[in-house]
Amino acid sequence: MTAEGRAARDRALAALATEFDRRLARIAPRDRTELQRILLEMLDSDRP
């Protein structure tokens, strides 16, 4: 990947993270905890 491609990827990831944080802030704390548990379980199930 070129330096320009990496920079574009980094900008896209930053934009996604910002939007995710904005949406996450609207979720109730209890639901946020459950979402975190689900996402962590998904990550763990993907490991060999």
* Residues 6, 36, 9: CA angle, nearest 5 degrees: 10
Q: Where are the domains of the chain?
A: 3-45
pLDDT attached to residue 27: 93
The per-residue pLDDT for range 17-45, each reduced to its tens digit, is: 999 899 989 999 999 999 999 989 998 88
Q: pLDDT band for 48, please (50, 70, 90 cuts).
A: low
Q: Give CA–CA dist 36/42, Å, rounded.
A: 10
Q: CA 22, CA 30: separation in Å to the nearest integer? A: 17
Q: How many CA atoms lie within 13 A of 37 on its CB side?
A: 6
Q: What is the pLDDT of residue 13?
A: 95
Assigned token pair, 36? 């975190």
